[in-house]
Chain A
Amino acid sequence: MDEEEGNEYRWESGYEKTWEAIKEDDDGLIDSAVADIIQKSKRKRQEERMQNARLGMMRHLILVLDGSDSMLDQDLKPTRHLCTLKIIEGFIEEYIDQNPISQLGIIVTRDKRATMISELGGNAKKHIAALKEHFGNQSSLSGEPSLMNSLNLAINSLHMLPAHTSREVVFIMASLTTCDPGGIHFTIQNAVETQLCCSVIALSAEVYVFKKLCQMTGGKFNIILDDKHFRDIVYQFVEPLTVSQQKEASLVKMGFPHHLNIDEKEAGSTLCACHLDSQKPPATIGYFCPQCHSKYCELPVECSVCELVLVSALHFAKSYRHLFPIPPFKQLNVQETSASCFACAKLLKSQDKYIYECQRCKNLYCLDCDVFIHDSMHLCPGCVSDQNLLTTQIDSPPNPS
């Protein structure tokens, strides 16, 4: 899974080694061994995640998708294009769900040109609809991509944003070439000056200029191995990145609107400001901007009248988990034990190879619960079952430096 390991080339180590690592279990099945490998890489990433690091919580991320004909290759099944489409769709939903006060935009580059198919925004449905319309059709894939044009477009839409937000660009490139109208190094320099963080996911092989871009702007350069690895890499961008300490902090004015249900007899139904041009029927229910009283049917949204960002307390609650990640559990190698998993009450038997221990509350967990706690719940049940640990957890705020 990890390319940097060892000095051998990937094709030299090949698949033989991966098979050597896989051992059959007692029933002659290899499922457990494969799960083990995936588990190890996950744990590694967890440990890398620093605690008390300053994160870019209000994110602006632009996805640049390669729309050239090299997307039609069939090395990913069924084609690179369909595989990418599927993964990106999932990613957009996950990104918006996990970073509710962040925004996303999509650029597609084809025929030496770059077009913004979806402007920066926080509405997953809108992005996916735009993606399907402009990128969903195989026949639209043609020509060569242009790194410079798409980078310029990304710089243009990101450079005006306030300084406290993070500016990220993620390229998904299938082509080994790029067609640029000028010196690409100037554009890269430009990107560095606008404090963009560019990452590239290459679907075929390493390209010097892509790698250079990542190095200069502090992003990550990734080459995929297969579709699962591709998905894994794309989903890494759901977690917010750490930002430099020099990054400005600022107080952002936001509105927390009421959810109002006006009595139909009293005021009648009204249109919401976000669906003025569409066929959505008027409704009595809506959120009202506390500043200008325009009505919206969904949150979060930027008020189109007074440009106030409208959010609900829930969106913050969702983002807090990035600020307080739970530390990885320590792996214990216990042969015989009579204990049971604290979280799911399963008896820990000797066939459970690994038992995990939370370093704070010293409770034991089975493998399944360890995965569930770190991947889905983001909460250690043991630590919140202890009044002392519960209060210390809240009192330790993230460190800005």
Chain B
Amino acid sequence: MAIMEQQSKLEVEDVSLLVVVIDLSTEQPFLQDDKLSLTHYLNAIITFINSHLMLKACNRVAVIGSDYCRNKYLYPDEKNKLNIRQTDSQYEMFTLVEQTIRNNVKSFFNDDSSKDDEDEPSKLPSLISGAAALGLCFINRIEATFMSKDNLNSRILIITGSLDFSHQYMSLMNVFFAAQRQNIAIDVCSLEAELKLLQQGTDITNGHFLLVPSANLSGLVQYLLWVFLPEPPLRKHLIVPPPVKVDYRASCFCHKQLIELGYVCSVCLSVFCKFTPICMTCHAVFKSHILLPKKIKKRKVNSGSPMSVSGSMRSK
């Protein structure tokens, strides 16, 4: 009954825009260990995208491929538009989406021009933050063509098997805050690990985080259809995995440890777990009224080096 009411609110013309970010890094552990082949992985995603397009005739989709050195649109491809004719009575749109994605994935792997000259591929994780930023720009472009933003539900789904995105912290955070302001949900489907940073993102933007158990990777399509197919307004009526608990403690810049009590530089907002006289990040010299008496005491005990240290600090 409740779903019926909700659906009457969701107008028939409401369009759902889905941006899928696919991690195409060959370094993903599930590809390395042969738990899931690339073909199987792509097939699952294409099936999911087709199901999304099947829900409503006006639903839109964009697909972005990402690896450690570039991000590229796989669909839509406005430069080389395929001319699709109906073949085995399949809906033309499905054939178009599938063919475009497959062609572009092929060229994604063949086009090595942008990769580094070194022969061995980098172990760095994919540039997911850039891909999600592209997704936001794409959503912004589509939104501009709609008279009222209420008619468009947009979301981003990130499917990744990479392990650690901590070096993209700042850019990912910017993406999450931008998505939050635009009311765009970011969903993450992780194939390998509990990605703390991306969990924060799903928490900020009211999206879902799902870790597919490594034993069940071959059933990826089922997980995708089950959790990520319903649009965010419909999800509250469904029983989906409970939201993950996210830890928002800061980690200190000096030892990279999570802390509860810390010291923050007033100039660059670096976090330290202990008091330091000079900020390691921006080299600002801190004045401290608490520290001074200690220094004087030291000077009395041994008149040698500590004096020159404290003296040089103040003169800076």
Residues of A within 8 A of B (CB): 54, 57-58, 101, 163-165, 248-259, 261, 290-291, 308, 311-314, 316-321, 323-324, 338, 340-347, 368-369, 372-373, 376-379, 381-382, 384-387, 390-391, 393-394, 397-400
B140 nearest CB neighbor, chain A only: A372
A381 with B133: CB separation less than 8 A: yes
A373 with B137: CB separation less than 8 A: yes
Residue B175 lies at the interface, judged by CB distance under 8 Å to chain A = yes
Q: With A376-B182, A384-B129 in contact, is A290–B260 under 8 Å at CB? A: yes
Q: How far is the CA of A26 from the CA of B248 in the complex (A)?
A: 53
A372 with B263: CB separation less than 8 A: no
**A396: shortest Cβ distance to chain B, in Å?**
10
Q: With A319-B269, A376-B181, A387-B127 in contact, is A249–B285 under 8 Å at CB? A: yes
Query: In the complex, which residues of chain A have a beta carbon less than 8 angstroms from the beta carbon of B136?
Result: 372, 377
B71 nearest CB neighbor, chain A only: A385
List 18 other contacts, CB 8 Å, given A376-B182, A377-B174.
A250-B287, A251-B263, A251-B264, A251-B288, A257-B260, A290-B261, A314-B204, A319-B269, A344-B141, A368-B140, A368-B141, A373-B137, A376-B178, A384-B129, A384-B133, A386-B127, A397-B268, A400-B283
B137 with A347: CB separation less than 8 A: no
A377 with B178: CB separation less than 8 A: yes
Query: In the complex, which residues of chain A have a beta carbon less than 8 angstroms from the beta carbon of B174?
Result: 321, 377-379
A381 with B269: CB separation less than 8 A: no
Q: How far is the CA of A384 from the CA of B184 in the complex (A)?
A: 20
Query: In the complex, which residues of chain A have a beta carbon less than 8 angstroms from the beta carbon of B173?
Result: 314, 317-318, 320
Q: With A249-B267, A319-B269, A390-B168 in contact, is A254–B262 under 8 Å at CB? A: yes
Query: In the complex, which residues of chain A have a beta carbon less than 8 angstroms from the beta carbon of B71?
Result: 381, 385
Q: Indicate which residue in B77, B138, B276 contacts A344 across the interface (CB closer than 8 Å).
A: B138
Interface flags for B134-151 (1: CB within 8 Å of A; 0: not) read 101110110010000000
A385 with B250: CB separation less than 8 A: no
**A102: shortest Cβ distance to chain B, in Å?**
12
**B288: shortest Cβ distance to chain A, in Å?**
7
A249 nearest CB neighbor, chain B only: B284
Residue B49 lies at the interface, judged by CB distance under 8 Å to chain A = no
**A167: shortest Cβ distance to chain B, in Å?**
13
B131 with A251: CB separation less than 8 A: no
Q: How far is the CA of A259 from the CA of B247 in the complex (A)?
A: 7
Residue B9 lies at the interface, judged by CB distance under 8 Å to chain A = no
**B295: shortest Cβ distance to chain A, in Å?**
16
Q: With A314-B248, A319-B269, A377-B178 in contact, is A253–B170 under 8 Å at CB? A: no
B78 nearest CB neighbor, chain A only: A347
Q: How far is the CA of A54 from the CA of B267 in the complex (A)?
A: 7
The tally of residues in B whose CB lies under 8 Å from a CB in A reads 69
**B44: shortest Cβ distance to chain A, in Å?**
24
B247 with A258: CB separation less than 8 A: yes
A343 with B260: CB separation less than 8 A: no
Query: In the complex, which residues of chain A have a beta carbon less than 8 angstroms from the beta carbon of B247?
Result: 258-259
Residue B226 lies at the interface, judged by CB distance under 8 Å to chain A = no
B269 with A255: CB separation less than 8 A: no
A249 with B168: CB separation less than 8 A: no
Q: With A323-B268, A381-B133 in contact, is A347–B168 under 8 Å at CB? A: no
Q: With A249-B286, A340-B79, A400-B283 in contact, is A369–B137 under 8 Å at CB? A: yes
Within 8 A of A (CB), among B235-277: 245-251, 259-269, 271-272, 275-276
Residue B209 lies at the interface, judged by CB distance under 8 Å to chain A = no
Q: How far is the CA of A373 from the CA of B122 in the complex (A)?
A: 29
B263 nearest CB neighbor, chain A only: A251
Residue B10 lies at the interface, judged by CB distance under 8 Å to chain A = no
Within 8 A of A (CB), among B77-121: 77-79
Q: Indicate which residue in B167, B181, B204, B266 contacts A394 across the interface (CB closer than 8 Å).
A: B167
A345 with B78: CB separation less than 8 A: yes
Q: How far is the CA of A397 from the CA of B253 in the complex (A)?
A: 13
Q: How far is the CA of A316 from the CA of B248 in the complex (A)?
A: 11
Query: In the complex, which residues of chain B have a beta carbon less than 8 angstroms from the beta carbon of A258?
Result: 247, 249, 260
A385 with B127: CB separation less than 8 A: yes
A385 with B275: CB separation less than 8 A: no
Query: In the complex, which residues of chain B have a beta carbon less than 8 angstroms from the beta carbon of A382?
Result: 130
Q: With A313-B250, A368-B144 in contact, is A347–B79 under 8 Å at CB? A: yes
Which of B204, B249, B259: most chain A CB closer than 10 A?
B249
Q: 10 tightest CB-CB pairs across the interface, nearest first? A: A385-B130, A343-B137, A164-B266, A249-B284, A381-B133, A290-B260, A312-B248, A344-B141, A313-B250, A317-B173
Query: In the complex, which residues of chain A have a beta carbon less than 8 angstroms from the beta carbon of B250?
Result: 256, 311-313, 316
Query: In the complex, which residues of chain B have a beta carbon less than 8 angstroms from the beta carbon of A291?
Result: 261
Query: In the complex, which residues of chain A have a beta carbon less than 8 angstroms from the beta carbon of B73?
Result: 345
A308 nearest CB neighbor, chain B only: B261
Q: Indicate which residue in A249, A321, A344 contacts B287 across the interface (CB closer than 8 Å).
A: A249
**B221: shortest Cβ distance to chain A, in Å?**
26
Residue B171 lies at the interface, judged by CB distance under 8 Å to chain A = yes
A-B contact pairs, 19 of them (CB 8 A): A165-B266, A251-B263, A251-B272, A251-B275, A257-B249, A313-B251, A314-B248, A320-B173, A340-B79, A343-B137, A345-B62, A345-B76, A369-B141, A377-B133, A378-B174, A381-B71, A385-B71, A385-B134, A400-B283
A391 with B167: CB separation less than 8 A: yes
**B251: shortest Cβ distance to chain A, in Å?**
8
A98 nearest CB neighbor, chain B only: B177
B287 with A381: CB separation less than 8 A: no
Q: How far is the CA of A344 from the CA of B136 in the complex (A)?
A: 8
